[in-house]
Amino acid sequence: MNKKYSIVITTFSKRFDLVTNLITQIREVTTNPIILTINGERDGVLNEEYRKSILSFCVKFDSIYPIFFTEIRSLSKLWNLGTINSNLDDVLILNDDIKILNNDFFTQCDEILSEDVNMVLFNNSFSHFFVNKNFLNKIGYFDERLLGFGWEDTDMWMRFKETTGERIKTVNTTSIYNESSDLIYDNVKTTWGKYSSYNYEYIKTKYSNPGAERYMCGKKLKEDINPYPTESYFLNDKNLIFNNEDN
């Protein structure tokens, strides 16, 4: 019998077509529970038209559980909340801009879970990966002090190796495709094109050489007009967050 797992998908209002297409693909193959962690809006006002549309779509299927945020929250927060709300230990986390090219992907998922799994990436990417809740309870969940988007994967790579002495396992597949849409990153202050400069500065305070594990160091930082949208919600609280040793 195939091992059951939850599917966590992170999304937001501008990607309605992407996420509904992905869910439709998934439901053609598996009835595994789907948890949608739906990020909020830059202005902190819930998009009611989107809320009604996504709920109307979800009720067409069994076992789809949407969780809404009104304001923008970090990717770490979205991943953690989805995983915590899973009633199964094994969790498949997907970006909303993933296309499943054929059903071999789900066969690979079953093969991966034929053994005990701590964390397994597809194609060496955190756009699509398995994680085990019991393992995260030991190693710690994704660091929510990364208040924007980016470097969550670097932090997990570092902590995984420190805890296990090994690198995170990766499985190659040609059965999925990541569109890597940049819809949310228009006209914002970023590093490397689409990642939060604020997150990068935090990671530099946490590790002496954060780029050594996964990335080439010394890439030029891209400075755009406005601060990263997520960061404005937290700037007043950042000193309290980062100076509190209990967090």
Compute the residue count for the chain.
247
Query: Is 244 inside any structural domain?
Result: no
Query: Is 246 inside any structural domain?
Result: no
Q: What is the pLDDT along the chain (247 residues), one digit of tens a residue?
A: 478 999 999 999 989 999 999 999 999 999 999 999 999 887 778 889 999 999 999 999 999 999 999 888 889 999 999 999 999 999 999 999 999 999 999 999 999 999 989 999 999 999 999 999 999 999 999 998 887 788 898 899 888 988 899 999 999 999 998 876 544 444 444 444 566 777 777 787 787 765 544 443 333 333 433 444 444 544 544 544 444 444 4
Can you give the residue range of the structural domain that contains 23?
6-181
Query: Is 85 inside any structural domain?
Result: yes
Query: Is 78 inside any structural domain?
Result: yes
| Model pTM score | 0.83
Query: Is 17 inside any structural domain?
Result: yes
**How many angstroms separate the CA atoms of 174 and 230, rounded?**
33
Question: CATH no. for residue 59?
Answer: 3.90.550.10
Query: Is 148 inside any structural domain?
Result: yes
Q: What is the DSSP string of the chain?
A: -PPP-EEEEEE-GGGHHHHHHHHHHHHTT----EEEEE--BTTS---HHHHHHHHHHHTTSSSEEEEE-SB---HHHHHHHHHHT-SSSEEEEEETTEEE-STHHHHHHHHHTTS--SEEEETTEEEEEEEEHHHHHHH----TT--SSSSHHHHHHHHHHHHHSSPPEEE--SSEEE----GGGTTB-EETTTEEHHHHHHHHHH-SSTHHHHS-S-PPPP--SB--GGGGGTGGGHHHHHH-TT-
What pLDDT does residue 223 have?
41
| Number of folded domains that form the chain | 1
**How many angstroms separate the CA atoms of 9 and 66, rounded?**
9
Query: Is 103 inside any structural domain?
Result: yes
Backbone angles phi, psi at 235, to 5 degrees: -60, -35
Contacts of residue 47, defined as CB under 8 A and 6 or more positions apart, other chains included, come to 13, 41
Query: Is 113 inside any structural domain?
Result: yes
Contacts of residue 243, defined as CB under 8 A and 6 or more positions apart, other chains included, come to none
What pLDDT does residue 71 have?
83
**How many angstroms separate the CA atoms of 176 and 95, rounded?**
11
